[in-house]
Structure 1
Amino acid sequence: LNSHLVFSVSQHALGGVVEVNEGAESVLMPCIYSGVIPEDNPFLLWTRSDLSPNSVHLRRENGDDLKNQNQRFRGRTSMNPDALDTGNFSLTLRKPEQDDGGNYSCSISDGVKERTVKQIHLKVKVGQQEVEVTEGSGSVVLPCRTSADLPEGTSVEWTRSEPRSMFIHVFPNTSKHFAQQDRLYRDRTEMSKDFLRTGDVSLTLMYPTHRDDGRYVCTVYRDQDVLRDTVVLKYIKAPLVKVDSGVKFVLLPCRTRVYLPGGARVEWRDGENRTVHVYQKGSDDPEEQNLTSRTRTRMNNDPLKTGDLSLTLKHPKPGDSGIYTCRVRKRVVLVMKRVHLQVKGQ
């Protein structure tokens, strides 16, 4: 993410970076004023000097005055109706596009003198990260990283806007913030405690379900900067295999085109995380398998060469129902797939 920017237009006009992903619903460019409001005909002005006309939004005491607004912002900008009373001159820009990136100035004027309150560098990022998680996973990491050695006052928000506006995780997690957290995510989220040093503000979400599918926004408030990233979580249901308990065997499919090096370890685990089958060093390893499955499972020959890691389970029973995980690792996990087995009783 971008480094901190300070603009030297005025000693009062501290600059900041605001980041947003293209395709977001809106972006807020903050501008808070604590000085004196002119008595005669005060108005607020947001401008972008590289455009002609340079007016982004103008607000007077009796409302918006957008007759000189640059056409590219038509219908996409708004300010609080009570901005001149509260000193909150922040601007909301809807549906930010890549061409909206640039330097924006927030000013107050009485028509004679103009004072720059804030300068904002808006960065609109193209693309978004996508993360897939399969049914039955114990957790999933939503990635978000910024610069290392963050200042002590840094705060982080993870939010969603659909199906409704929700706080997923907030740091610092005060009692007020805890109350804001949506119940759906209570006790299911955590961030690294060392994120101020590393800049890694990724969120771990435990026990993901289909309700967690969708878009997440990671926002980092660092000094004057508002840094934002979007992560889309795709929840994938495990393929379903249905059989009757009277059949002689059932095949749990797991195939990959990923190159699998010799010496990699293949393991199948059930929904209770018990080892059902292990293949390593060129052969099955029944010593590591659960006693109940030791003589009931087998894999095809040379699975690492063929990429067919499917498992045959003999004489399936209703108690075998559940989500099975096929995992290949050699120092790191190379392949991980899941399959949902349903065995109907006689």
Structure 2
Amino acid sequence: MKMLGVFGILVHVSQHAFGVEVYEGVGSVLLPCQISSVPLRPTVVWSRYDLTPSTIHQRYPEGDDFKNQNQRFRDRTSMKTDTLVTGDLSLTLRRPCLSDSGNYTCTVTVFGNEQRLADVELQVKDPFPPWAKGLVAVSVVLVVLAVAVGLFIYCYYFRTVPQVEVESGAESVQLPFRTTTDLPEDVTVEWRDWNNRKVHVYQDGSDRPEKQDEFYRNRTEMKKDLLRTGDLSLTLKHPICRGIYICRVYNREGRVLREKQVKLWDKVPQEEVVVESGAESVQLPFITTADLPGDVTMKWKDKDNRKVHVYQDGSDRPEEQDEFYRNRTEMKKDLLRTGDLSLTLKHPTDRDIFTCRVYREGRVLMEKDVKLEVKDQRPVKRIEDKEESVDIRNRSSSTDPTPLMADQSV
């Protein structure tokens, strides 16, 4: 009966609609939503259903969860820390811009039942009338060169994302991040990848492996005294994913204190293989020590981008091969266990460059180039035969007695 009463309150509140107007450029705007009684262990979600993903902010009883948040609102939203105690579910949106105008919906979910609490129509207005914009445009022309130089210096010297290169199959790589040593002891340090997966979490003075994405479990490490030294670098074991990694440092209220991006890029190795013309087969080598997940896709292609061999979902896919290579290729059966991704090519016919790429969820985890050289001995033999015939004629002209006798008769 108590739970039914709570949901009665929620249904009553959901009938409220609000309109909020604000000028672009103000510090923040508050989107109101309140309930008189907070149910047991609710999940509060602010959404804009015209966007994808639609989640603007999400609050669990354990705290905020930004995993599914729309990237446009990253680091711009917050709720009060005691919101699930007081019933004030209002959302603070920082740095509102014109594109933030729209309908925002606050919902709460309790034991799988979702209730709509409030709809807020936000209108972000332009603070400058048209005539003022024209005046500003004229003024901007006078200083555009200075602004351009300033932006160039800022973008290329202060915001350039550092790159870290790693050899394919390396045991580990370090993503560097050094900052000042004045961090409070209650900070949270999170490393995430480009898919927003949690690579490593440090919280309350220790690592939190239970909050990692399973893909990175037992593969990351940070310094033990990172708060004392300010060294927030991350050691990533068996790096097989290239892309942008982001480290953020949050205070207890969820505000970002520090942020660093590191681009991880692997060098594409190339190996050369030479085989005699007419050979039955040749092996294009590719061996890695990385621990590959079971859902990877491997594609060998030639220089013309034809599919030489495809491995997907734990088995070969001959139907995806180019007809030129049909029934001429083979890979190891236990390649995920051994890391031997080499390709056996039957009846090699010509020189070529073959590339093997390993994909997961559409991203390249690793790749390798193999240059194949097919040696044809027939032209060399013809040259040797010609040289031999020349030598015979030379020997005949110098040692055969018949020409000498003919000269004497003359």
Instruction: Report the TM-score range of the alignment, normalised by the length of the smaller protein.
Output: 0.3 to 0.5
Structure with higher RCO (Cα < 8 A, 6+ apart): 1
- Name whichever structure is richer in strand by fraction: 1
> Larger Cα Rg: Structure 1 or Structure 2?
2
TM-score (norm 1): 0.39
TM-score (norm 2): 0.34
- Name whichever structure is richer in helix by fraction: 2
